[in-house]
Structure 1
């Protein structure tokens, strides 16, 4: 079985295209699995095929990345409007990173909104692979009524609900066809010396030779051919399917590519897992593409024995012989399998780096409606994170609550919906309060005596301390300058421990950072002094000093790397500035064409608004990663609001 992915922005008509491709001959079988992935299996010219129709939301890119891992080729479905080329930029980015051979299909040509050549020029800004036009549209007025193949030089007229008919190329299109064909041959000649010589000698190459060359350069991932049509009317779909059949790589080529990229012996690579999900009835199901035959229930795969194997489009168990080579199957009760991953019999090999999803941009605390579901919620979130590469789950260090980091609001709703529908847990989500801290701004000397007599052995400890601010980022520093044994050496560690305890919550209600404590003197009692007494004295003494040391509120600052198409870099400056961030600059992204990496320092409290701003300014294609940089002082009304809110919260 051969396998390809259909991907593209929302509203590009990719699902319609996938359905049309799968319905050209034998009626298809299909199934939609969680996360919006649809599998369609069908036959075309006596060959078995599987189309993987991916979700179109930018928040679902994690699943698009994973599905490409199992694909021989992919079809990027785009709108005919040059203004919409930007929306394809994230898909071109991952296609190029993955090395997956690609065909671009310009859909909805029944409603053209610009010239195809302008669209290709706009798309070319986002990929280093040459985009090569293989067809030109035939127009009557403003309406596209057919297309001309630039290799065979044959023209076809679209017919509603029927296959296109062969027609003569209109006279007014001959010059344009010659021009476009010359551009095609020039592109192909860059990868074939024979063709270059034919062109230099002004000889016309045969169509069969050109088809052979175009097939080779696609399989070698040298170019991206561009075809046109209107999937909603079935126009251009047959030509696209024939291109896949004759020009796209086979499963054997895919296995070689994956093995080479990951450093695996090709002979040991048995399968590739690309999707996983939990359902209430069967538990965990992992979608795997078999890269060899002989896989069946009980087979050792990925370091463990496989459970039941199902046809994902019908839900029926496979026969005793198991799935055919290249087929996709669902592994049930095979919890040792991870997705996405490369699978040998003995081990699971991590997927290549390009499969990784963009960093989550939206964090929320998730709280169960009933405290009885707390443990159940933790288990459910761990399972969701195990099957969703775009989701991360952590714990809030302050409250211990579960923190969900999703790709965006749509993704978050899917996660909360899965908790309710699949795991039967009602939850609510809350914003995360930034991890504020406090520091001191002056030196304070303090003496504190702890004395307690309650019958029996008493408690006594006297300490003299100097409490001072340290440099930003230096943390807690403890030292002692005691002379003459005023404080016995065995009690000094207890003094340090008590000082640390005092920093857990300062006068403003937050942990205290960047403080130095020096034990300068003290007194002890030969009977009543103890480690506990000195720890208590130090804790109370430091607390007293902190309240006198002019505490200031500190807010966390994050470094953010915002990845956007180059045309949007300038528009990020006012967004960052409005959120009280600091612009550090931007550079071209060396890894991918047409993108910049914009760097800034942002308050933690502004990260969610930054995510909204970046999505809005870039039509949803931009994203960013963040990492903690430092703490810096927050003052004025903003600081007062935080301190007052903390006081009310207790």
Structure 2
């Protein structure tokens, strides 16, 4: 079986194209995954094929990457408008990083108003591989009615819903055809010395030889051929399918490519998993593709026995063993994880390009019913195992569950899955654990903890000084007690009490960057204990924090923003509006047509940055962020933050 991924911007007509390619035999053989991924199995010229249909929104990129892990080739579908070529930029970036041989299909060519050359030039701005036109349109007035193949020099007229008809090439198209063919031969001569010699000697190369060079250029991922058509009307889709059949590499090339991405000396994997999802009452199901012989139900794979294998879309048992290149649903194979390379005795990490970029949409989740807290945590961990674009963490200060997602649509799908598959209804809100506080001046406190309730009492007396530490210095504790005023075995309890007091300061936030020094104290031979000195240390530090002129701190993150170059200018003003500081920008060395802008921003602005960035870049920009340092917040901004977050946070801490 041959397999290819169809990807491109939303509205380009990917699903329409896949359905046309599959024809009537796609009926009953299409699997729709919950995240919008479509898997279609079909036959073309009595050969088995599989097309992976990916969503076109930017939040779907974490599903596109694993799909390419299982694909022999990729088809990038674009609209016939040079102004929207930039929308294909993220997909060119992913395909080129993966090394997957690719074909461009300019869809809806019957709607084209711009020159095809301008469309390709716009795409070339975001692609480091040369995009080589293999066809030019035949026009009647403003309408495209057919295409000329630049290799065979044959003309085809489109027919609604049926195969194109071979016709005589119109005289009006001859000059454009000769010019475009000369450009094609010039491109191909860069990959073949024989062709270069033929051109220099002004000899006309044979079509069969040119097709062989085209096949080699695609298989070696040296160039990206571009075809035209209209999937809605069935125009050009057979030609696309024939190109894939004759020129796209088979599964052997994928196996070699993945072996090259493994550690030195490793053999190629036997299979890959490229999608997984949990289904109620059925458990997990994984989509796997065999890229070598020996994958069969019950056999050892990835260190465990493989469960049942089912055909995609039909629910029938798949052939066992699965032929190299075959795709199947693996059931009752809980030892398999999503997006992995599968060897006989273990599973391996996929190449770096197949892993999702850092999620930039962060939300805190809470169950509507408090009794479902443990159930929510378990459900999120199961979803995250199968969703490459989702990570789950826990807020250190409050213990709240925090999800890191690709965007609002991704959040909606996760919430729906929690409700439908796991029976947990959850609400979301922005995380409130980013703020911190410290003190601006030293304070010395003498505190005596005394309690007598019958029997052994509690007694501990401490004198300590609390000072501001350098920014980023964290918490430090030392003691200068003389004469055994506080026995050494109680000093760790004082330090533990001091740390307890830092959980929530006078403003209602965790306290950072302070120094605590125990200078003196007293103890009682009978009533003193670790518990008493811990309580004394906690109370003394709490008093010192209140007297030390507490001040609010906000974390500052360094962000690296990835965006197509035309949008970089607008990003500078956007960073300034979010009270950030631009550090500089440069062309992205790993992505043609993209810029990398670095800036520092308050952590509280990161959520707004994600929304503003998507709006400013038509949904294509994304960022990575790392904590850099804490910075003071003064005046009305501090008052507003404390009023919004500090009081409620303090109430929660008190309740605990």
Task: Establish whether TM, by shorter chain, passes 0.5.
Answer: yes
The SS at the match of 1:420 is helix
Which 10-residue stretch deviates more, 101-110 or 261-270?
A: 261-270
Taking the aligned partners of 2:502 and 2:346, their CA distance within structure 1 comes to 47
Task: Determine the structure 1 residue equivalent to 2:571.
Answer: 572
1:296-342 Cα offsets, whole Å, 9 max, x none, are 220111111011111122011225x3433311100001011112111
Task: Determine the structure 1 residue equivalent to 2:486.
Answer: 487
Which 10-residue stretch deviates more, 631-640 or 3-12?
A: 631-640
**Judging changes above 3 Å, is the alpha-carbon distance between structure 1 residues 437 and 209 closer, same or farther for their aligned structure 2 residues?**
same
Taking the aligned partners of 1:36 and 1:492, their CA distance within structure 2 comes to 59
Q: Does 1:583 align with 2:609?
A: no
1:547-603 Cα offsets, whole Å, 9 max, x none, are 111100111222211111112112111111111122111122111211111111122
Task: Determine the structure 2 residue equivalent to 1:220.
Answer: 220
Task: Determine the structure 2 residue equivalent to 1:427.
Answer: 426
The SS at the match of 1:358 is coil
**Judging changes above 3 Å, is the alpha-carbon distance between structure 1 residues 421 and 529 closer, same or farther for their aligned structure 2 residues?**
closer
Q: Does 1:472 align with 2:486?
A: no
Taking the aligned partners of 1:79 and 1:332, their CA distance within structure 2 comes to 39
1:58-99 Cα offsets, whole Å, 9 max, x none, are 101111110011110010000000011111001000100000
Task: Determine the structure 2 residue equivalent to 1:376.
Answer: 375
Q: Does 1:510 align with 2:519?
A: no
Q: TM-score, normalised by structure 2?
A: 0.95
Shift of 1:433: 1.2
Task: Determine the structure 1 residue equivalent to 2:654.
Answer: none
**Judging changes above 3 Å, is the alpha-carbon distance between structure 1 residues 487 and 587 closer, same or farther for their aligned structure 2 residues?**
same
The SS at the match of 2:5 is strand
Conservation of the 8 A alpha-carbon contact between 1:28 and 1:40: no
Alignment of 1:616-631 (within 5 A): 616-631=615-630
Conservation of the 8 A alpha-carbon contact between 1:255 and 1:266: no
Alignment of 1:170-209 (within 5 A): 170-209=170-209
Q: Does 1:436 align with 2:451?
A: no
Task: Determine the structure 2 residue equivalent to 1:289.
Answer: 289
Alignment of 1:34-49 (within 5 A): 34-49=34-49
Task: Determine the structure 1 residue equivalent to 2:317.
Answer: 317
Task: Determine the structure 2 residue equivalent to 1:119.
Answer: 119
Task: Determine the structure 1 residue equivalent to 2:155.
Answer: 155
Taking the aligned partners of 2:525 and 2:308, their CA distance within structure 1 comes to 74
Taking the aligned partners of 2:25 and 2:205, their CA distance within structure 1 comes to 33
The SS at the match of 1:478 is strand
Shift of 1:155: 0.9
Which 10-residue stretch deviates more, 28-37 or 273-282?
A: 28-37
Task: Determine the structure 2 residue equivalent to 1:449.
Answer: 448
Conservation of the 8 A alpha-carbon contact between 1:480 and 1:519: yes
**Judging changes above 3 Å, is the alpha-carbon distance between structure 1 residues 32 and 4 closer, same or farther for their aligned structure 2 residues?**
same
1:447-481 Cα offsets, whole Å, 9 max, x none, are 22334444554444333222110100101111222
Which 10-residue stretch deviates more, 23-32 or 357-366?
A: 23-32
Taking the aligned partners of 1:551 and 1:40, their CA distance within structure 2 comes to 62
Any unmatched runs of 5+ in structure 2?
A: 652-656
Task: Determine the structure 2 residue equivalent to 1:535.
Answer: 534
Q: Does 1:417 align with 2:389?
A: no
Shift of 1:27: 6.5
Matched length? 649
Conservation of the 8 A alpha-carbon contact between 2:465 and 2:517: yes
Shift of 1:504: 2.1
Task: Determine the structure 2 residue equivalent to 1:367.
Answer: 366
Q: Does 1:562 align with 2:564?
A: no
Conservation of the 8 A alpha-carbon contact between 1:25 and 1:44: no
Any unmatched runs of 5+ in structure 1?
A: none
Shift of 1:369: 2.4
Shift of 1:631: 1.5
Conservation of the 8 A alpha-carbon contact between 1:28 and 1:41: no
Task: Determine the structure 1 residue equivalent to 2:67.
Answer: 67
Taking the aligned partners of 2:533 and 2:7, their CA distance within structure 1 comes to 67
Conservation of the 8 A alpha-carbon contact between 2:113 and 2:142: no
Q: Does 1:357 align with 2:356?
A: yes
Task: Determine the structure 1 residue equivalent to 2:391.
Answer: 392
The SS at the match of 1:317 is coil
The SS at the match of 1:232 is coil
Task: Determine the structure 1 residue equivalent to 2:4.
Answer: 4
Taking the aligned partners of 1:341 and 1:448, their CA distance within structure 2 comes to 58
Conservation of the 8 A alpha-carbon contact between 1:259 and 1:265: no
The SS at the match of 1:110 is helix
Shift of 1:425: 2.1
Taking the aligned partners of 1:394 and 1:363, their CA distance within structure 2 comes to 10
Taking the aligned partners of 1:255 and 1:211, their CA distance within structure 2 comes to 24
Taking the aligned partners of 1:65 and 1:454, their CA distance within structure 2 comes to 66
Shift of 1:493: 2.4
Alignment of 1:246-261 (within 5 A): 246-261=246-261
1:9-51 Cα offsets, whole Å, 9 max, x none, are 1100011111111118886732212211111111111211111
Which 10-residue stretch deviates more, 579-588 or 174-183?
A: 579-588
1:405-444 Cα offsets, whole Å, 9 max, x none, are 2100111111111112222222222221142111000122
Q: Does 1:402 align with 2:407?
A: no
1:208-239 Cα offsets, whole Å, 9 max, x none, are 11010010010000000000011111111111
Task: Determine the structure 1 residue equivalent to 2:460.
Answer: 461
Taking the aligned partners of 1:233 and 1:54, their CA distance within structure 2 comes to 21
Task: Determine the structure 2 residue equivalent to 1:53.
Answer: 53
Task: Determine the structure 1 residue equivalent to 2:519.
Answer: 520
Conservation of the 8 A alpha-carbon contact between 2:502 and 2:511: yes
Taking the aligned partners of 2:398 and 2:315, their CA distance within structure 1 comes to 43
Conservation of the 8 A alpha-carbon contact between 1:288 and 1:328: yes
Which 10-residue stretch deviates more, 288-297 or 144-153?
A: 288-297
**Judging changes above 3 Å, is the alpha-carbon distance between structure 1 residues 642 and 41 closer, same or farther for their aligned structure 2 residues?**
same
RMSD: 1.8
Which 10-residue stretch deviates more, 517-526 or 259-268?
A: 259-268
